[in-house]
Each structure stands twice: as structure tokens, then as C-alpha cells.
Chains A and B, each alone.
Chain A
Amino acid sequence: MDIAFGDRAKFGCNPIASEWFLTALVIVVVIVTSMVIMLSGTSPELSWDEADYAANTARPWGVLWSTSDDGRHDHGPMGIYLAKLGQTVLSPGWAPLEVRLPFFGTLVASLAVGSLYGTLRHLFGTSRGAALVGSSMLLFSAIRVKETNIIGPHHLMLACLLAIVALGYHWRDRPTLRAGVGLGAVMGFGALSMT
């Protein structure tokens, strides 16, 4: 009990820990807000591109994994994988199809917007206000929320691009093994999203 109390007291007084806690809190709020406005602001039925991608979810995982002739619009299959994951994992009683299919794509897109706050605050070393400016403008962008299909490559590529800019900046003077593996993994995800 004493140790736990001591840790709490230490945590409460430590400005660095408080700052990280605040950053984590803001990121969570941004992610949840983004998911709500994306899922509520999207098209009431699947759009042309989304329906074309979603048709592939009827195919088995192994076929999606091993072929390149599907209706993927000359992009990587990650958008289709995430739509199929939503259809497979989420119960039909939980939400309509128009929420289950884009759910994991929305999650990745929202993680990108939330992480932008942390990137600005801790990698670019900005004030909280400046980090809020960058993340809130992207959070409420009409082009992002209203004009971009959720099932598809654009949001996933944006997540990849923001990660490349952030990690590339962080490691710009440090070409270490960790930097190579980290950036390579992000670019690999980008290739899976938007070739």
C-alpha cells in the first residue's frame, strides 16, 4: 500500500509524467471524437468505391492474401482486410453493416489524427496549443470526414504518411537499425494500403 501510495504521489508531482498523461488523455479524446464524427458523417449507404471494395469481403482470407486480381483499384489490400475484419469480428446485432465494415478503417484513421497531437507535442516539441491546432484542424477537416471513403486506401495512407513525417523527423540525424526497421515497417504498411 505504501509503495502504491508513494507512486501515486510521485506521479501526481512529476511534471513529465503529468505531461505524458495529459497527452495520452488528449489523444484518446481525439480518437473517440474522430471515430464518432467519421461514422456518423459518412454516407448512409456504401458509396461506389466502398461497395466495390466491400464486395471482396465475400472472398476467403487466403484468396485475398494470395491474389492480386481482385477489385482493389490498383491499391494494396489493407482496406479490404480491415473491412473483412469488421464484418467477421463485429456482431451484426451490435451495429449495421455500414458501421461494421468501415469500423477498423475508422479506427486506423482516427489513431492517425490522435497521434498527430503526440507527434507535434513530443517529437516537434511544440506547445499544447500548437499541437491542438494541428490535430483539431485535421480532426474536423471536411475533406477528411465528408469527402473521403472510409473503406479504401486514402485514410490508411494518411496514417502512413503522418507516421513517415513524424518518425522520419525524429530519426533524421540517426540512421540506426531501429530507424531502418521502424520506417521500413511504416512504408510496408503504406504499400499494403495505397501501393
Chain B
Amino acid sequence: MTYVIPAALCWVMAVSLSGSGWLAWDRRHFKISWTLPVLVATGASVLMLFWPPGVRHIMVIKDFLAYLHYPSHTTLLGDAIFEVAPRSAVISWLANLDSPILAVSSLIILAAVWKGYLSGRVTSTHIYLTVFLVFFLVTALAAHLAGARNLLQCVGVMCLASGALFDEALGDNPKLIRIGSVAIALLAALNLIWLSSSSSYRPYFAAGGYRSLLQEDGGRIHESAKAIVYGLPILNFYAHQSGTPIGWDAREMPWTTRANAPLPADVKYVLIPEFVFKNMPPEQPMRRVVAQHWKVVWSNKTHDAWELGLYEKPQPMP
């Protein structure tokens, strides 16, 4: 997902509904403050200064349009890999990873809305925060889901709104606010500690073993053989850093759950992490063929990363 243009549009909506002087409508005219062109010119100048192609080749617009029409992205959700992650993944990620944020934000926001309804008092702060909350929640639900990281912007807005509405939700009771805030901070910290120490949870991006492969398995790495690698940029990066030449004619593993994913007959080695050989659908060739029938010739397992396995194709019997 790309966000600066959506964020700017959201801000325009928020200030036009809750602020004054930026944008205004009357019966005949749509008025824009002279400050808006200043804002756009400043943004373009900053971009031009640090990255000229962003303005000269209008990369900002091109990238935004590219992501607007971005196809689905295969991703890991729980213990399964999905070709297209279901929309429920948003709630699943929030509930499984950041349950304190989901629970506390929901309670605080609902309590603030209820109190606002009872008192009949809706302030510009309420409107401003509501626009951002709704916009980023809808964006998170509507955009392509490549992983829990796509929710980060929504999580940020939820935390900000929760803090801004916390006093109001607790009726401005100082004692309750003090106890509540300490309890929530502890809850959030404990959630992170619990997840970090849990044997059943491993972050999607926890990569490891590529450096060890280059150090420990130099013989095979130097072979002139065809290979399929998950994480070819990682292998190439560490090979470049360590000055280890790779003999393989390697290509990136097709990142798909499809049963007809290509596995050319002349491939000798496959290097894949645990979530591929365990969590891919059973019919996907990496699991159906490689994990089932090929021989593991090297593997690396640490507590803070996915196991990485090097598979070798069995030689035909003479």
C-alpha cells in the first residue's frame, strides 16, 4: 500500500469538516485557502530537493496508481499461506498480535462516542479524529493485504485517538485515569513480552540461516547447478557482504500457493524456510514434491527465526 496521497486526502477531509479557513463551500463557491498551494509547493520542493525523479517523472502519482491497482499478494496468516488473504485477516492480525490495542481502542472510542451522544456535545476534535479513524480503517480493509505491516498506519491512528479520547471516556476522573493508564501500559508491554517468548509465535519476517549457509555449506554453494531460493535478495546480500561467490544459477521461488507453480526438472537445489515447507498448501510443489521427496542436506534452526532448509533432488537410480 502507498499512503502519502491517501493521508493528504484524509487530512483535507478532516480539516474541511472540523476546521475553518482551509476549505469552504457556500451556495455558489468552493473556496480554497492560499495556504494550500503553499503546502503543495513546499511538499514538491522537499521532494525535488531529496529525490528529483519524484517530481520530474511524477513518480509519486505513478506509484500511487500502481498500488491502487495492485493485485493480491500471497501471504502468511496464522499457520497457513493464502494466495489472497481474506478481509478477516485484518481483525485476525489485530486480535492475535495487538489484542490490547484492539480491545482498549474499541472500548475508549465507544465510551467517548456514548458520552458524546448522551451529552449531545460533538466537538471539532471528535470530528477530526473520526475522519482519520474511519479513513484508515476502511483503507486497511480495502487495500491489498501483504502482511500485518499493512495495518501499521491504522494502528498508529487508533493509538493516537485512544490517547486523545481517554480522559473523556473515563469521565475525567483523575484516579481512574492514573490506574487505567498504568494498567494499559503494563498490558501492552506484557503482550509483547508474552508474544516474544511464545514458542508458537514467530514473526513473518524472522529470517535467519542465510549467513550460516554461506559459511557452513560452501561446497554446494559453489556448484554450478540450478537452484530455487526463497529470499534470493537475502542470499545475494550476505554473499556480497562476505565476498562468497555463489555458483548456482539461482532464481527466486515463485511466491504462490498454486499447485501448478513451476518446478523445472533440471533444478538440483531448493532453499526454503519453514513456513514454506510446512505451511504451504499440500498440493503446492514445494511441499508436495520437495518437502515430501527431496533430501534435506543442510538446515539451520534458531529460536528467533524460521528454520531454513536446503533440499537436494534425489539422483535417479542407475
Contact = CB atoms under 8 A, between A and B. Distances in A.
Nearest to A40: B196
A48 B7 contact: no
A185 B34 CA distance: 16
A162 B18 contact: no
Nearest to B161: A134
B112 to A, nearest CB: 11
Contacts of B192: 37, 41, 140-142, 145-146
Q: A-side binding surface: helix, strand, loop or mixed?
A: helix
A41 B47 CA distance: 32
Contacts, number: 322
Q: Interface range on chain B: under 10, 10 to 19, 20 to 34, or 35 or more?
A: 35 or more
A106 interface: no
A75 B64 CA distance: 9
Contacts of A74: 2, 63, 66-67
A176 to B, nearest CB: 7
Interface residues of A, number: 89
B302 A44 contact: yes
A24 interface: no
Contacts of A130: 163-164, 166-167, 177, 181
Interface string A145-168: 111110000110110111011101
Given A154-B152, A161-B3, A188-B45, A137 B159 contact: yes
22 contacts: A43-B208, A45-B210, A47-B234, A48-B205, A120-B164, A134-B163, A140-B189, A142-B98, A143-B97, A143-B152, A165-B132, A169-B125, A172-B15, A173-B21, A179-B39, A180-B39, A183-B11, A184-B38, A184-B43, A187-B7, A188-B43, A195-B63
Interface of B: 2-5, 7-8, 11, 14-15, 18-22, 33-36, 38-47, 50-54, 57, 59-60, 63-64, 66-67, 93-94, 97-98, 100-101, 104-105, 108, 124-125, 128, 132, 147-149, 151-153, 155-157, 159-160, 162-164, 166-167, 174, 177-178, 180-182, 184-185, 188-189, 191-192, 195-196, 203-211, 230-231, 233-234, 236-238, 240-241, 302, 304-305
